[in-house]
Structure 1
C-alpha cells in the first residue's frame, strides 16, 4: 500500500535562534527526509514577523487592485525579469517545453522585483541578469512593504542553505560562495480575472506545470485552494500553507547538485473557482537562485554511480528556463521533467 501524500513540517527555529547541536542535527535530518521524498516542506519557526507579512499582503492588494491600464505602465520586455506581467502573457509549462503551439495562456498576473546591479557595486555584474527594479508610484506603500518582506524571505532562504549544508554532509558555509551575489527574485502573483474576461472552460490554467529553476523557493500564499503538487504516485495533490508556515520547495539546481537525491518537484496552480467565478488567490515566491557565474556540478557527497547532469552555470540554466516561460521559447533540455508531466496527464 502506498503512503498517502502529505507535505512534511520542519521547524527551523534551531537555525534561526541558538539551537543546540542535537536540535540542529534533528532539523537537518528532517529536512533531508522531506527533500528526498516530497520536495515540498511546510517550514515553521522561520521568525518572519506577522506585521511584515500583513503589510506585505496589504501592499499586494494596493497594487493588484489598480486599473489594468495603470499596472501595464510597469510592464517590461520579456527578457527583463522585472516589473508587471499581465494575465495570459506567460506559459510556465514552456519552461519544460510543454505548452501546445507555444500558447501563452497562464491567467495569473505578476509583479517581479529582485537583485540589481546597484546592489553589488564594483562587481561588474551583467545588467541583463541583474536589472534594476521598477516601482509603481500609484501604490504608495508598495516599495517599503515589499522590500521588508523580501529581506525576510532572503534571510529564510539563506538560513535554509545552512540547513542544506548540514543535511548533505558539507562543510559549514559551503553554499555562501555560490550565493554572495545571488540572482534572487521575488515574484508576486495575483489569480483573479474581471467578470467576463474569459470562459471558465476545462483548459483554464492559473499557472502551468513547472519546476522552479534555482536553489530554493520560499512561498508565502493565501490559504486558498489552487496549488497542486505532483506526487510520486503520478497524481496531482492539493497543497495549502499551514497556519503560520511558509511553503518551501527545491529548484532544479538543487536536483542537479544532489544528483536527484533531493527532488525539484513539479507543481502547478489550477484556478480556484467558486460558484462559477474565480476566487482571488495571492502568492509570492522568493526564488534564491545563486550567483550568475556559479558553476553547478554534482556534490562530492552525492556522486554515487555518476550523474546524468553535466556542469552548468546558474546563468545558463536560468536564461533557458526564462526564455520558455516569458518569451515563448520551448526549453529543449527538460525532457525528464516533461516526461513526468505527460505521464501524470495520461493518468487523469
Structure 2
C-alpha cells in the first residue's frame, strides 16, 4: 500500500460568489471547480465561507474548556450508542466497523468527542423519532453552549450553501435539495486527539480515527493545522491533509455518492495523529455533518446512469436506514453488513 502520492492534491476553491451575491459567470466558475473536485478527490479547501474569526475562536475555546475536564466528569455526559449526542470517551468507537470491516484493534479509535445536533424541538410540528432527533446534552461549562451554538449556526449555513453549489454543478433544478433537507438530521462532532498522562498500553497500532467514509450529504470540517488527517487517493495512497489558512475542509458523504452513482466521491479518510517523543501531538477538529431528512429516500439520479456508468445502487435507501447501520458499526461495535463498495475500498487500501 502506498503511503504518499506526489500526484495527490486537495484543491482550494473560493466560494465568495455564492456567499456575497456574485455574478452568474462567477458562480458558474465556482460550480465547475466544485464539480471537478467532487469527481476527482472528494475533498476540497473552501475559502470565502464567511464564518467570522471570533466565532471560530469561540468554538476552540469551548472545546478546550470541555476536554480539559477530568474523564469521570466527562463520562457523566455519555449517552447510549443509539443516541448520537453527548460524550464519547477514547477507545469506545471503531469507525472501520461502520463500513463492515473488522479491525484487529476493535473499538480502539483513540479520540474523544462531544456531539450536538438537530433535535425534535428544532422542527416543531414535524413527527420525528426521539432517538434520532434527541435533545442535546449540554455540559456545565461556562460559555460552552453559546459558543458552540454560534459556530453550529455558521457551519449549517456553509453546508446549505454547498448544496446550492452542488445543484448548479450537477445541473439540477434550483432548490433541488430543499425537498430532502427540511428537517435534516445534522450533527456536529467536536473531536480531541490527545493521550492522557502516563503510559498507554495499546492492543494494536495507534489509531486516532479508523478509516471511514462520512455518512450524509456533505461535511464541513474545521481543524487545527496539525498533521493527522489522511485522505485516500485513487491510487491507494494515504495522503496528509491539513487546512490552509482561513480555510474549511469540505468532503462528501455516502448519500451524495449514492445519489450521483459514485461519479462524485465519498472519499475514505482516517486520522493518524503524529507521535512526538512518545506522546500524541494534540489535534482538534469539529465536523458538521449535513445528512438530510431521516425519511428522505435516496435514489440514484437518472441523468448519471448510462452505459458507461451502470447503476451501482439499484435499491433505494432512506437516510435513516443508512445512518443507523453506520452508527451501529461505529458506536455499538456491530459490523455494518449493508456496506458494499465502501467496504471494498477499505480492504483494497489495506492491501
TM bucket, shorter chain: over 0.9
Aligned to 1:175: 177
Between the aligned partners of 2:124 and 2:342, the Cα distance in structure 1 is 37
In 2 relative to 1, CA 10–198 (structure 1 residues): closer, same or farther, beyond 3 Å? Answer: same
**Unaligned 5+ runs, structure 2:** none
Aligned to 1:276: 278
Determine helix, strand or coil for the equivalent of 2:211: strand
Q: Displacement of 1:169 after TM fit?
A: 0.2
Of 287, 297, 308, 2:312 maps to 308
> 1:1-348 alignment to 2 at 5 Å?
4-100=7-103, 103-137=106-140, 139-199=141-201, 203-305=205-307, 306-309=310-313, 310-346=315-351
Between the aligned partners of 1:272 and 1:135, the Cα distance in structure 2 is 31
In 2 relative to 1, CA 80–197 (structure 1 residues): closer, same or farther, beyond 3 Å? Answer: farther
Report if the CA contact (8 A) 2:101-2:343 is conserved: yes
Report if the CA contact (8 A) 1:217-1:250 is conserved: yes
Structure 2 length normalisation: TM-score? 0.96
Report if the CA contact (8 A) 2:105-2:204 is conserved: no
Report if the CA contact (8 A) 1:180-1:291 is conserved: yes
In 2 relative to 1, CA 105–200 (structure 1 residues): closer, same or farther, beyond 3 Å? Answer: closer
Q: Displacement of 1:300 after TM fit?
A: 3.0
Between the aligned partners of 2:202 and 2:90, the Cα distance in structure 1 is 15
Report if the CA contact (8 A) 1:214-1:287 is conserved: yes
- Greater displacement, 197-206 / 294-303: 197-206
Between the aligned partners of 2:302 and 2:349, the Cα distance in structure 1 is 33
Determine helix, strand or coil for the equivalent of 1:177: helix
Count residues in correspondence: 344
Between the aligned partners of 1:177 and 1:262, the Cα distance in structure 2 is 20
Report if the CA contact (8 A) 1:91-1:99 is conserved: no
**Unaligned 5+ runs, structure 1:** none
Q: Displacement of 1:308 after TM fit?
A: 1.8
Determine helix, strand or coil for the equivalent of 1:48: coil
In 2 relative to 1, CA 197–72 (structure 1 residues): closer, same or farther, beyond 3 Å? Answer: farther
Between the aligned partners of 1:14 and 1:70, the Cα distance in structure 2 is 45
RMSD over aligned Cα atoms: 1.3
Between the aligned partners of 2:113 and 2:233, the Cα distance in structure 1 is 27
Between the aligned partners of 1:5 and 1:308, the Cα distance in structure 2 is 26
